[in-house]
Each structure stands twice: as structure tokens, then as C-alpha cells.
């Protein structure tokens, strides 16, 4: 297994301690430990986690012939926040059948997730180099994009863009695109009734507590609260935030250091955006300056996936 390290474990440990002191824990810490990676595996086995997104990827894979033709005989596939890489492998298998050789570069900040993605691709005999990097960093994104010469196929799937500021993230992604490159990116569509219910449930809370229990915070130490806000920077951007509220005075241990939390104190947890179809098209087209060549709405109407170019 080949993995290049841009973001070291020492960097992540340091950032984690600082984030805990700042009471604000971004997405990457929820996938960091082997236990969290196992917890993610359990969560992804829930059919409602991604609903019809799997069907969308089958449809994209069914159209792999046109993509293969665009790329000629060889395509570097660079997947940002690759997770277990399952969607990437589905498409790469279809590209291979269409006569295109794939070189795979899964990018993730989580070593255990990266190992799962690399092992899955190695097992299917794809030439694979994992890159351990922070995809919220424009510098890391450029480094990862430079792993191969254009034209390249970039992927950011599973509503991954929405755990960052999507207005900034789409610009960072777009900056790395050159002529001939393609980007497949998806966003979850907002539903007044279902968006919150899909997050505020026992399985999702369990996943969050897998991370929190790693620093000594257990489910009876407090509660997780969900909140819905609108992002006023553009019509149709919906932000779901989550926070942990301590029910009593607590002490967490991060990297050997003790962090005290007073009763009633909150820690901001990872957030997620969801969109109206118009606002997602605006995000990609206007904010990112990309042209949408094809778009797929999942059969359950839950995800909009765009194939774009600069």
C-alpha cells in the first residue's frame, strides 16, 4: 500500500487539541481514529444515510463510455475525502471496462479511512497512491491535484463539500481545474421535514459519540443538539449545526492534556450544508465558475450530482 503524507498524525493531534480548546470540532476529527472508521462503516450500512445516491453513481458508471472517450486511454482519478472509496471504485471499474486505465489517488485526512480506500482499490488491481492531506487547505488541494498531469477526474462525493464552507471550498477546487479536467461533485438537497430527521437520530448520535468517547465524553455526560439556520450569503443555502452541551462539569482528555468543560458549556460539532437545486447550481456555476456538463438528481430527489468542467 502506497500512501503519501502531507498531513501528519502529529499535525492532526495538535489541531485536535487546539480545536477542543476552541470548543469547535470540524469534520476531520470525526473520522480520525480506527474506532471512528469502524463507526462510519456501521453508519453507511444504514440505507437512509445516502438514500438514492448509490443509484446516481450507478447511472454515472453506466455513462462511463463517454467519460472514457473524453480521457482517452488513461485517467487519473483524484478523490477528495474519499472515505472507503466505494463510489470511486464503482466508476473506475466502469471506466476500465470502457477501455480506460485508471490511476487512483484517494485523498483523506483519516489514516484508517485511507487504508480502507487503498486496500479496496489494490484488491481490484487499480494502481493506487493514497494521499493523507487536509482538503480544506488550498495548498494541500493544489498538492493533491498535482499528483497527476491533466486531464484528470476529480471527485468530491457523499455531500463532503458541505462539511466545509462550500462557498470557499468550491473556489479552492475550481482553482485546481485545468482544461480537460472534470469534477464530479454532489450536494444534498434540503427537505423541510426530512433533512433534520436524517441527522437527528440514534445511529448518527452513536457515530458522534464514538468520537467524543475517545476523549472521555460519554452519552450520559450531556446531550447533542441540532439546529437549522439559513446562510444569508445566498438564497437556498441551509446549514444544519450540531453541538454538545455538557450536563455537568466535565473533563476531557485530548492528546494527554486535560480540557475542563463547565456544566452548560457547548462544543460546536461538525456542521453540514444542504441546498435547494438552484442554490447548488449557483454554488458550482457562479461561485465556483464551473460549467455543469451533466447533472443527476437521485431517484429519491435527495442528491444533486454535477459533472463539471472549468
Query: Which residues in this chain contact ligand SAM in the complex, by CB under 6 A?
Result: 27-28, 31, 81-83, 87, 108-110, 113, 134-136, 157-158, 160
**Could you tell me the three cell numbers for 37?**
472508521
Query: 246: which residues sit within 8 A by CB, 6+ positions away?
Result: 221, 222, 261, 262, 263, 264, 265, 266
CA nearest neighbour of 269 among 187, 211, 188: 211
**DSSP secondary structure string for all residues of 163-218:** GS-HHHHHHHHHHT--TT-EEEEEEEBP-TTHHHHTTSSHHHHHHHHHHHHTTT--
**Shortest reach from residue 88's CB to ligand SAM, in Å:** 8
Closer CB to ligand SAM, 57 or 261, in the complex: 57
**Shortest reach from residue 101's CB to ligand SAM, in Å:** 22
Closer CB to ligand SAM, 52 or 180, in the complex: 52
Radius of gyration of the chain measured on its C-alpha atoms = 19
**Shortest reach from residue 140's CB to ligand SAM, in Å:** 8
**Shortest reach from residue 230's CB to ligand SAM, in Å:** 22
Closer CB to ligand SAM, 136 or 243, in the complex: 136
Closer CB to ligand SAM, 80 or 221, in the complex: 80
**Shortest reach from residue 181's CB to ligand SAM, in Å:** 18
In whole angstroms, give the CA distance from residue 51 to residue 186: 13
Phi-psi region of 288 (alpha: psi -120 to 50; beta: other; left: phi over 0): alpha
Closer CB to ligand SAM, 130 or 158, in the complex: 158
Q: Across the strands, what pairs with 297? A: 304
End-to-end CA distance of the chain: 33
Closer CB to ligand SAM, 113 or 252, in the complex: 113
Specify whether the CB–CB gap between 239 and 232 falls below 8 A: no
**Shortest reach from residue 8's CB to ligand SAM, in Å:** 13
**Shortest reach from residue 7's CB to ligand SAM, in Å:** 7
Closer CB to ligand SAM, 272 or 279, in the complex: 272
In whole angstroms, give the CA distance from residue 309 to residue 183: 6
Q: Strands 266-268 and 237-246, how do they pair?
A: antiparallel
Amino acid at each position: 500500500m502506497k500512501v503519501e503524507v502531507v498531513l501528519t498524525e502529529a499535525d492532526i493531534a495538535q489541531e485536535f487539541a487546539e480545536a477542543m480548546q476552541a470548543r469547535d470540532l470540524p469534520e476531520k476529527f470525526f473520522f480520525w481514529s480506527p474506532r471512528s472508521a469502524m463507526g462510519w462503516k456501521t453508519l453507511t450500512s444504514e440505507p437512509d444515510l445516502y438514500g438514492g445516491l448509490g443509484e446516481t453513481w450507478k447511472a454515472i458508471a453506466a455513462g462511463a463510455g463517454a467519460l472514457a472517450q473524453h480521457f482517452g486511454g488513461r485517467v487519473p482519478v483524484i478523490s477528495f475525502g474519499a472515505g472507503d472509496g466505494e463510489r470511486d471504485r464503482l466508476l473506475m471499474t466502469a471506466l476500465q471496462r470502457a477501455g480506460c486505465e485508471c490511476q487512483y489517488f484517494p485523498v483523506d485526512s483519516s489514516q484508517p479511512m485511507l487504508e480502507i480506500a487503498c486496500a479496496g482499490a489494490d484488491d481490484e488491481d487499480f494502481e493506487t497512491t493514497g494521499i493523507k492531506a487536509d482538503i480544506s487547505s488550498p495548498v494541500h488541494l493544489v498538492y493533491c491535484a498535482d499528483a497527476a498531469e491533466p486531464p484528470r477526474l476529480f471527485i468530491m462525493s457523499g455531500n463532503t463539500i458541505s462539511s466545509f464552507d462550500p462557498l470557499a471550498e468550491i473556489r479552492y477546487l475550481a482553482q485546481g481545474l485545468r482544461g480537460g479536467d472534470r469534477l464530479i461533485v454532489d450536494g444534498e438537497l434540503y427537505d423541510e421535514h426530512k433533512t433534520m430527521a436524517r441527522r437527528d437520530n440514534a445511529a448518527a448520535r452513536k457515530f458522534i459519540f464514538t468520537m467524543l468517547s475517545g476523549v472521555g465524553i460519554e452519552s450520559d455526560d450531556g446531550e447533542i443538539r441540532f439546529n437549522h439556520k439559513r446562510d444569508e450569503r445566498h438564497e437556498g443555502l441551509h446549514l444544519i449545526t450540531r453541538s454538545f452541551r455538557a450536563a455537568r462539569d466535565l473533563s476531557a482528555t485530548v492528546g494527554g492534556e486535560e480540557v475542563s468543560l463547565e456544566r452548560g458549556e457547548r462544543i460546536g460539532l461538525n456542521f453540514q450544508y444542504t441546498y435547494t437545486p438552484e442554490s447548488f447550481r449557483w454554488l458550482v456555476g457562479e461561485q465556483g465558475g464551473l460549467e455543469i456538463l451533466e447533472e443527476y438528481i437521485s431517484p429519491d430527489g435527495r442528491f444533486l450530482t454535477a459533472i463539471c468542467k472549468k
